[in-house]
Each structure stands twice: as C-alpha cells, then as structure tokens.
Amino acid sequence: MKVVYISSSIIPSTLANSIQVMKMCEAFTKLGHKVVLIARRAKEKINLTNNIYEYYGIKNTFPILFLPWPIPKLGGFIYSLFCIQNLFKSDIDIIYTRSIYGALSALICKLPYIYEAHCPPHNQIHYLLQKVLFKSIFFKHLVVISNVLKQEYERLYPCLRYKRIIVAHDGADPPNEQDESPKFLIKWPGRPGVLQVGYIGNLYPGKGVEVIVKLASLLPDMDFHIIGGTEKDVYYWKKRFNYPNLFFHGFIPPSQTQQYRAACDILLLPAQYKVATDSKGKGDISRWMSPLKLFEYMASRRAIIASNLPTISEVLQNEYNALLVKPDSIDEWIQALQRLSKDKLLREKLANNAFIDLINKYTWYNRARNVL
C-alpha cells in the first residue's frame, strides 16, 4: 500500500514522540509499504550526526514532506489545510496519524485513516472532533498504547465498542552494528568495578529524577547516570545535587543512546503517580503512558527496576523480566538495587526475559504489522 503518515511531531527534535514516528515509518517500509511522512520542520538547531535519518539511527527508506505550523493556537488547523492541499495531489491507500489534524485532513479528502491516540482528548473541542472522526465511514480503527487507555476511550465514546480498537504498546528494536558503532565513542565517568545505574529520558517533574538523586545520596557505593534533558533542566538538577557518584550526561542523539544503556548494569524507570508532559509540570500522562524508554531498556539486555504502575505492569512482570517497586518508596528502590547488586544471575535472568519479550512482542516491525 501507499501509506501517508501525518504527524504533528517536529522532525528532528529531542522529544520521544519524534522517535516513535520515525521508527514506525521505517517499520512500515520493512513491511513492504511505500511510505511518505508529513511532519513539522524543527525551528531549533539540532546537532545532527550527518542527516535526519542517521540522527534517529534508521535508514533513509521514506521521504519526509515538511509543512509549516505558523502560529501556536491556530497552527494545527492551518497545518491541516497544507496537508489537505498535498493529499489531493497523491494516490493514497491509507492515512496513518496520531494527529487529530491529520485525521481531519484525511476525512475532508475522503481517504481511509487509522488514528493513534496516546491519551484521551485534552479538551471539549478535541472530544467533539474525535467523536466526528470515529463516526465517519472513512475511519478504519483506533490504536491506543495501553489497555487502560482502551477502556477510557470505550467509556468516552460508546460507538467505539462496535469498532476495532488495537492496543499497541510502544516498541524498540534490538541493537545493531549502527547502534553500537565505534564512530560514537562515549566518555564514561563511572568508577571501574562499581555498579553502574542509569536512567535515559526527559527530566520533567514526575519522571523520577527526584528519586534518582535521593538514591545517589544514600548509595555512595553505586554510580548513577542521568542521560537526557534540556540544558536548562540539567543545570537545575546539577546545581542542587552535586554528589560525586551522580553524573548528568545531558541530551544524547537517539542513534547513540544504546551505547549509554550498554554501559550500565541496571536501568531505572522511576515514573511517579503524576508524570508531567513538560518541564513546567503541566499535564499528567501517568495513567496512559507506554514509555519508549521501557522498550529500549528491554532491547538493551540490562536488568530493569521500574515503578509498579498499571500501564508499566501491562508489559513488565515482577521477578520475571523486571523488579517492580512502589514509585515513591525510597526504601523499596534501595532494596531492589542492593538485591541486584549482589545477585548477578538475577540481573541476567531479568534482562534475558525482558529481551525475549521484546523480540516476541514489542519490536517496531511487530507493532507496524499489528496496527495496519
């Protein structure tokens, strides 16, 4: 098929949503489909290793059409007008989108579309727009990232109970030669012979950085590495917590993060009961999220300690492929770390089981095949 993926993600950017979009487009091409990505061009300067595709660690197998998003409040509707203009010019089999404006564009052009949702509608306008989208004859099915979110959509939109809803958690791919290329040699400040504990992701409130800095202060015999975050966020945390065993690496391009995960013995996912969507603490995705880092951790063959939240426990099983602990209990995090530090066989068992689950259920290829 010819698949047009309409995204409102900025490409390239430091945000996880842009990684998911690029990985899914690549996976669609691996299925044999002809793919065109429509996206917003970045205004900020991103340090590209060579080009956009290499930045994300993928092959150049699909073109990207960049369209403007001119003003903040009405930019989405104007963006959809640009999309419509381009859709009318093309012979398209299916529109795939996680943008409400992309779905509206498909509806207006009378093209079949699949809509992917990562959270419920933000406001009454989005609620009403999605209601229109779901009742259209051009709507094929809804894709959501957790079972909890599926239940919420069925509650909000009774009409969806008679239509197909696919639960597709986020994904990752096992490391390849490009992921671990010597072209990107990392400078690792950890102490030799000391347990290396890592976290990769944004530093927004609720992501769990507050837990990690506390652990670093209480466990001086372990090294803690925080990879990710804006310069402003990194400066904020470094200024307040300057422990000798706590290292802030800043943002790393997606194509290089596997080397940092591989340098760790244990990877942490300390999401709290409220997880903000930006550095100002706005929003809360804790009930619906399917963290991209979770699947990247699983692909890295490293032991995982994660918060025991409903959406995370849809993927991870305590004592089988991870250790799950109460999000805000420092004592439980300490006990889990100390246990894994003394038991290498348990670390290997958890890591191997998580990797097998990733290969069997959560690769991008499997996800792409599932959602189409």
Ramachandran angles phi, psi of 262, nearest 5° = -65, -25
Q: How far is CA 254 from the centre of its chain?
A: 11
**What pLDDT does 206 receive?**
93
Contacts of 299 (CB under 8 A, 6+ apart): 172, 173, 174, 175, 258, 355, 358
What is the residue extent of each domain of the chain? Answer: 2-174+363-371, 195-361
Whole-number Å distance between alpha carbons of 202 and 334: 22
- Does residue 237 carry a pLDDT above 90? yes
Burial zone of 187 (CB within 10 Å; 0-12 exposed, 13-18 middle, 19+ buried): exposed
Q: Which residue has the tokens 């760790």?
A: 264
pTM for the model stands at 0.94
The terminus-to-terminus CA distance of the chain in angstroms comes to: 10
CATH code of 2-174+363-371, in short, is 3.40.50.2000
- Does residue 182 carry a pLDDT above 60? no
pLDDT tens for 128-171 read 999 999 999 999 999 999 999 999 999 999 989 877 899 999 99
Query: If phi over 0 gives left and psi between -120 and 50 gives alpha, with beta otherwise, what is residue 101?
Result: alpha
pLDDT tens for 291-350 read 999 999 999 999 999 999 999 999 999 999 999 999 999 999 999 999 999 999 999 999
Looking at CATH, the fold of the domain delimited by 195-361 is given as Rossmann fold (3.40.50)
**What pLDDT does 88 receive?**
83
pLDDT tens for 345-368 read 999 999 999 999 999 999 999 999
- Does residue 72 carry a pLDDT above 90? no
> Strand 2-11 and strand 222-227: pairing?
unpaired
Whole-number Å distance between alpha carbons of 207 and 145: 18
Q: Is 268 helix (H, G, I), strand (E, B) or coil?
A: strand
- Does residue 50 carry a pLDDT above 90? no
Whole-number Å distance between alpha carbons of 10 and 75: 13
- Does residue 48 carry a pLDDT above 70? no
> Strand 94-97 and strand 64-67: pairing?
unpaired
Contacts of 172 (CB under 8 A, 6+ apart): 292, 295, 296, 298, 299, 358, 362, 363, 364
- Does residue 45 carry a pLDDT above 80? no
**What pLDDT does 335 receive?**
98
**What pLDDT does 282 receive?**
81
Same fold flag, 2-174+363-371 and 195-361: yes
Q: What percent of the chain has pLDDT over 70?
A: 96
